[in-house]
Amino acid sequence: MFFLVAAAAMWPMVVNTAGGVRALDPGLNARDQLAYDQVIAVILVIGVLGYLLDALARRALDARPRSARLREREPRDAAPVGSVG
């Protein structure tokens, strides 16, 4: 069963990869196909988005009521199993 699911998930990637390889111009090398300024711009945008999402998540977590945050920090004094008292 696992093999069937894995094969079904991989098949579209294999077909699309083969189509993409066939569409390449054989006269160009890899450096000619990359626009480095665009690659750097995408990397920076992804980094800024990650930073902003992290800041947003931290702010959302800090906006919880103070009592909820304090309860999370309190040590749990659990009595050992079988003890009385």
Q: Per-residue pLDDT tens for 36-84?
A: 888 899 999 999 999 999 999 999 888 777 666 667 666 666 555 665 6
CA distance 41 to 34: 13
85: nearest Cα among 42, 2, 77: 77
Are the CB atoms for 85 and 79 separated by under 8 Å? yes
Q: Which residue has the tokens 């991989």?
A: 10
The predicted model scores a pTM of 0.42
Work out the pLDDT band at 4, boundaries 50, 70, 90: confident
What's the Cα-to-Cα distance from 77 to each of 33, 66, 74, 80, rounded to whole Å?
A: 62, 21, 9, 9
Q: Which residue has the tokens 């990397």?
A: 43
